[in-house]
Structure 1
Amino acid sequence: MSTPRTVDRAFETALYGTTDDTLDTAASLLAADPTADAELARRGGEFVDAAWRRGWQPADLVRIVRRELDDPHVRLVAALIRTRAPHDRARGPRWAAQLDDLPDAEATPPPRTDRFSHATAVLELYRLLLRLPGLEPLEMGAAGKGAHRASGDRPESRALARIRALLAKAEATGYPEEAEALSAKAQELMARHSVDEALLAARGQAHAASPNAPGACRIGVEQPYEQAKALLLDAVADANHCRAVWNEPFGFSTVVGFETDLEAVELLYTSLLVQAEAAMTKAEAGQRAGGRKRTKTFRQSFLAAYAHRAGSRLRAAAEAATAGNGAAVDVDLLPVLASREAAVTDRTERMFPETTTTRLRGVSDEAGWTEGTRAADRARVGRRRPLP
């Protein structure tokens, strides 16, 4: 029997069926024919290419495989993505960063396994990839893509470098008040940087790397407590002139905004999530020390309250920074910001013409809500001396 025919028979048996029996039969066919391995890998590359055409990106594939399957499948899909990367077209800095962040197979070598088990895992992965639906494309038209590629070639700005440093300190400190003060300072700097970029672009003084239209990126919203985490991401996006649309089944939110603002959202959301989880752990320890057992509802309520209060404080910090950097008196500022907000709204509505609201579930623990509000409310985030 020819190698392609072996793979064809295995696919006909397993990929379009739904039972373990068909999977076992197909895995047995592949395990018995070592000459089919190369063809099987080639077909995997085709599945990856098809996923790209349907709007998926490397981080999306890894995320959905991790949610639906197991570690061996994650290693398999990461290997397929790496194999296809040299044959793919350039897709911009975010795509390149996702390739760099793929799980490192050499750092965590897979356990030894027999051919049947390996073939079973491959077929399970391919069955999932085959059934992936189309996603909203993130890439813009030719002008937008060119601008986006160029933005990856410029060195990181001093502002972003300082923002990263502030957030790193916030994550490292053991004092919640200091962490929240550092995060507020980072938000102020983000807001000032965003306004500066907007004014430069409007006056035609920005370098060629400045995007002339809003872009979009996907940010993972991982289990557990993904509703509360999505709420936190939405608050961070709103404070930074972006819009976030949550896709619950696939575990991510799509954030739409201008490049500088998207970078700010990614940085701040990741940092605040780390800080929120650290504060939640500390709050739970305090509750247990008081003899009160806390449950999933405590953690869900804590994170929901943290997101709600953090959003208010981030917006206040952003408004204070905008008013404090001298840009507020510039006659060009308000029309520029209004125009950018309209552009972000327009792109969001074109990408997602139909959206629904979701009621936050499981927020019923009063102590959790109180502790979460306190954790987000300790820092004094008022008007402060402008950052140098």
Structure 2
Amino acid sequence: MVDNKLLNLHFTQLSSAWRYSKENIYSDAKKNEYHSNLKILHSKLSVEDFSLLDEPELLKRKVICDFFFKSLEFLNSSTLNHIPFEIVKCLELALCDWIDNEEDFLIVTSLVNDIHNFSFDPSLAFNEEIYNLINSVYGIEFKSRLIQINLPAHLDRDYLANVVLYHELGHFVDYKLNISKAIYEDLLSRLSLNQIPEANLNELVEYFPYIKDPLLLDYYRNGTTVHVLMSHLAEYFCDLFASQYIHSCSNHYLNYLTQSNTNYSQTHPSTTNRIRMVDTFLKKEKSFPLALFEHAVLKCTSDIKELKVRYETFDSDNFERLIPVDIENNDQLHYLFTYGWNIWLNSWVGFKDKNDMGFDLNRTQVYHLVNNLIEKSIGNHILVSNWEKFSE
């Protein structure tokens, strides 16, 4: 039951939040258009007398207010004053490899205080009911859907850590194309019919240690979702998705955060297995578990998309000479993160030698240099690309 007095409280809280957000400025027109729709929506809500509405209509307004708050949560962290547009642009380019041109999605971020909280929130990307509800009640059409990604506020300009965002984008692609779900159904169906050769089954056990548990098939036959398997498939896919663009960069950070964890949880495979899966893919080695993902991607995209390396390597000593890299194409743009990680993980003596420094740079100086040069390299490429488009 929705009380109109409590709904009035809810809307007043929303209006208070909107007061600080209504002048937001974003880096692209589509986010500004989405924001303009929120402005219209707020104006329509503000003139309604909730005491005149019946219970079903009150519930609709509550749902709409919740949607408004959720939109602000991510849009507020996606303004020009918060998340740098450079990292979002790289993610947008990766996204274009996987969705049709006519589909309209916006990557937005929410900055959170948890230093380990990189995550994807699917609530506004796939909830067509709420958009249809707003259109039916107020005649407002939101053309874009929000891809909501959380990242730690303290790392918003850390391009070394933010390679993890490619993994989170992978969760959106997985939801959109139902890749891990397709593997789940195919795998359990074949297991239940005893159609997987023993050698392949032994490979599966290495990545999914519980796969031979009789209870697993009992759950499947009873129509109960085996959440641990579904979650692990999704995580493996997202690791593979990210490695298409950033090589093994996220492995460095993941391995450190989890201390090379050899145990799996209900939501994530072991770190060692995740790294092994990515290495198998990058080395183009044969593996039955890897083949499951490769075949599922082809099947779920009608043979249009495939798992493959989507970055282009380059040789450069520009960063060590303290200048941005001249990026020639979008594939090289993705490799820029690997380039930055390689510098961080190896000797820093090049900075000193190539600039005739009489001193060694400390870790803080190298950290800021690498991050600033990655950001400037991306920014320069975007600027040149936009200029070339406008000049055509």
TM-score by length of 1: 0.31
Greater relative contact order structure (CA < 8 Å, 6+ sep): 1
Q: Which structure has more helix as a fraction of its residues?
A: 1
